[in-house]
Chain A
Amino acid sequence: MLPRLEARPEPSNAMRYASPLLAVVLTLLGGLVIFAALGKNPIEGFRVFFMNPLKDAYGVAELFLKATPLMLIAVGLAVGFRANVWNIGAEGQYIVGAIAGGGVALYFEGNTSPLLLPLMVVAGAIGGALWASIPALLKTRFNANEILVSLMLVYIAQLGVSWLVHGPWKDPEGFNFPQTKMFHDAALLPILVEGTRLNAAFLVALGFLVAGYVFMHRSFMGFQMQVAGQAEAAARYAGFSAKRTIWTGLLAGGAMAGIAGMGEVSGAMGQLTEHVSNNYGFAAIIVAFVGRLNPVGIFFASLLMALLYLGGEQAQQYLNLPSSISKVFQGMLLFFLLGADVFVNYRLRWPGRKG
């Protein structure tokens, strides 16, 4: 006899936190099955995918490097998601942030002022926020669905960066590759650990995690947004502005994504290319939910997601698996998380037993 899903009298708090862990375990198990199905030794696959990337200090630094944009974007998105503002277009805001930050670097080429990097950060934030303000404006003025608008703007941003690096911003000495000049030293983020690529963007990200925590859990504005997310009528009753919630949610996500994009071109890449985004804007949505929209959770979830990125690269190199393996793991993680989340509100009941 099959067990039956039964609504819990009230949602389980324990399950709310156990669910991401369960999803991680199931993703690992699913990974073993996939390795086996592809004719690889599952144990070997597990070792290459999850342990190889962390075998030395350089690997760990790479993990933090990859986690940096993810935690930046995810904490920004969490601000909106907690208020039911569904910004799905962080990928596009990330790209526009990279364009804005990179544009400042190119414009001030050769300038060695210590203010250049801060200016690039601000430019990145403004760029991302500007891109996010389009869905915010359309939502508050015409009630246009922010999910669709923000998502469609991703493709416009992608085509926009393509046009720039194929056209006006192309490096004249770049052998016709679609990329800008390499940024000069003053426009590059300082390296934190000698011999690795880990740069100051990581510290910026940690700073924003703390700021995000204070905003979401300690500030009155964060409280208002949470009320708006949980009970719209109560927010209206208390006089909290729904428009301000939408604007704050989208601008926070946009600004953080923009800073992440700027950090990537000014850090690991050192130039703007059309492959500036590694799908970080979409992966960060998963990170935000696996981290339960909580900055502490987001920190760990972004490390996990970064490991999936690195593991995917290793699997390509040593196991001859296609590059899409990373996305398969990302997909499994989200799939299992959504599945496990059912048990926050429901529990299994086997027939024949009274209770």
Chain B
Amino acid sequence: MTKSAATAAPAAGRPRLEMRGIRKVYPAVVANDGIDLSVMPGEIHAVLGENGAGKSTLMKIIYGVTRQTDGEMFWEGSAVTPENPAHARTLGIGMVFQHFSLFETLTVVENVSLALPGSLDLDELSRQITSVSERYGLPVDPRRLVHALSVGERQRVEIIRCLLQMPKLLIMDEPTSVLTPQAVRKLFDTLRQLAAEGCSILYISHKLDEIQELCHTATVLRAGKVTGTCIPAQETPKSMARMMIGKDLPVPQHGAPAEGGEVRLRLAGLSHASDDPFGTDLQDIHLEVHSGEIVGIAGVSGNGQQELLYAVSGEEPLAEKFPVQILDAEAGRMRPGRRRRLGMGFVPEERLGRGAVPRMTLAENALLTAHRRGMLKGGLIDFKAMAAFARECIDKYNVKCGGPKAEARSLSGGNLQKYIMGREILQQPKLLVVAQPTWGVDVGAAAFIRQALIDLRTAGTAILVISEELDELFEICDRIAVIANGRLSPAKRTADTNVEEIGVWMSGMWPGASADSEVRHAA
């Protein structure tokens, strides 16, 4: 991929959007603290920052979802305060959210018509959708129902919906987190074409390589303040990371994988029909995870990851015993408690409400899964042992919090994830299953968590990681498999594959994949 886009920076002139001294105060936190930002016509401008740096708040102010406490916004030279998203749209501002706002039971054209003012002729609108989609390389059939679309196609619908209103500024919030590498490429082509036609783009992300490839300029935020502006083409990911987190990005230490460890988790033809009408049925999944290795499962979200995790954790036990074997025990019908007794640990993707009870203290949340470690005496709780475990976990895993009595919900996402991870690891699991280990976690904590996983694997634990972050999987895994439409590809040694190949597999096209499977891919 060339970096030609980055060199074709737009000419100087009057900025299309200018933010001056934006400050937004919430009851508990200052989200934006004197932010300046300027976007020229035709410029692709990155807003870079960790979770909680204030990116989303700033975008919500621009799009009229919320209003700044202080500071001014200028649109094409004149001061404005968008009252609400509809007002922002009339100004020419469009936004594609990270989480889509589409009605699953309606067709594409019906969904688009809901966002447009006035009553519309759906046939005419369908023609417009088709013409926009052809012009910008966003193929989508206006008559299809949204629930049958892949995530990538849904994103296209959102983008088309914005483009129909001829925006002068398009805000994209973490648009690639749900796409395969190939779909990311196509999205970038579309965005470049839009910019070339004069549309400004605000591109929110924490992925440094993408920003380098796509964006003309970048504004870096940290803790609500601008810590730098730069031209990504002239920077390295390392230098931008330093601006973003204030220090160098740690690189995980990875020893050679242990060979020939015993099988700790075996999925032997796991099939399971989902209860959810929009869920994914698991079909004949085979996988082995050995002691001393990390096996990763890649895939675009919504391809069966949830269902697979429920089946492996026991939160949704199966009808048969043999498809899930944990440490040689046929565990398919066991509930989570019994699987834990066999030596399994599990970290779910939702931390608050599933991995931890929000309104309980960290000590009580230790009791949630670690109660087998001497915290019970004849059915009663040993509060001392419970607090001691929580204290150890906080100290060892560097959890920033107010101590064992802090409520789980008072912790930041990264710190809570460290605590949950620590709680499961301290129980010395023989098998650890982890979903989205670093989702929404800041870069520093993510590096810490990845290192903890690698250390645990080196100590002999079998680890299964399900993640939508390909970079992460390539960083920590010994073998990688791909899930697509409820089917699992063979696992391949990380050293023998690459992002390109896994990206193709994410579309369901691995050698030996059955041709009849309709795939929920995003290519």
Contact = CB atoms under 8 A, between A and B. Distances in A.
A295 B157 CA distance: 56
A203 interface: no
Contacts of B367: 220, 223
A231 B358 contact: yes
Interface of B: 26-28, 313-315, 335-340, 346, 348, 350, 353-360, 364, 367-369, 371, 376, 379-381, 409-410
A114 interface: no
B353 A238 contact: no
A355 to B, nearest CB: 8
B337 A220 contact: no
A85 B409 CA distance: 24
Interface string A6-45: 1111100000000000000000000000000000000000
B315 A236 contact: yes
A234 B379 contact: no
Q: From DSSP, what is the main secondary structure of chain A's interface residues?
A: helix
B358 A230 contact: yes
Interface in A189-230: 214, 218-221, 223, 226-227, 230
Among B313, B315, B356, B368, the most chain A Cβ lie within 10 Å of the Cβ of B368
A318 interface: no
Contacts of A226: 360
Nearest to B337: A239
A223 B335 CA distance: 19
Contact of B357 (A7, A220, A221, A234): A234
Contact of B353 (A9, A223, A234, A241): A234
B2 to A, nearest CB: 47
B69 to A, nearest CB: 8
A233 interface: yes
B368 A227 contact: yes
A241 B380 CA distance: 18
A107 interface: no
A233 B368 CA distance: 12
A219 B314 contact: no
Contacts, number: 71
Contacts of A230: 357-360
Nearest to A221: B379
A237 interface: yes
A231 B381 contact: no
A238 B369 contact: yes
Contacts of B369: 237-238
13 contacts: A10-B410, A214-B380, A219-B380, A220-B371, A220-B376, A223-B364, A223-B367, A233-B353, A233-B354, A234-B357, A236-B354, A237-B369, A239-B337
Contacts of A238: 336-337, 368-369
Contacts of B340: 239
Contacts of B336: 236-239
A237 B354 contact: yes
Contacts of B410: 10
B379 A227 contact: no
A223 B346 contact: no
Nearest to B383: A218
A240 to B, nearest CB: 8
B356 A234 contact: yes
Among A8, A10, A214, A223, the most chain B Cβ lie within 10 Å of the Cβ of A223
Nearest to B348: A237
B380 A220 contact: yes
Interface string A140-154: 000000000000000
Given A218-B380, A223-B367, A231-B353, 18 more contacts: A9-B27, A9-B28, A10-B28, A218-B381, A220-B371, A220-B380, A223-B364, A227-B360, A227-B368, A230-B358, A230-B359, A231-B357, A231-B358, A234-B354, A236-B336, A237-B355, A238-B369, A239-B338
A219 B360 CA distance: 15
Nearest to A234: B357
A191 B376 CA distance: 40
Contacts of A6: 27
Contacts of A237: 313, 315, 336, 346, 348, 354-355, 368-369
Contacts of A231: 353-354, 357-358
A76 to B, nearest CB: 19
A220 B313 CA distance: 22
Contacts of A234: 353-357, 368
Contacts of A221: 379
B421 to A, nearest CB: 14
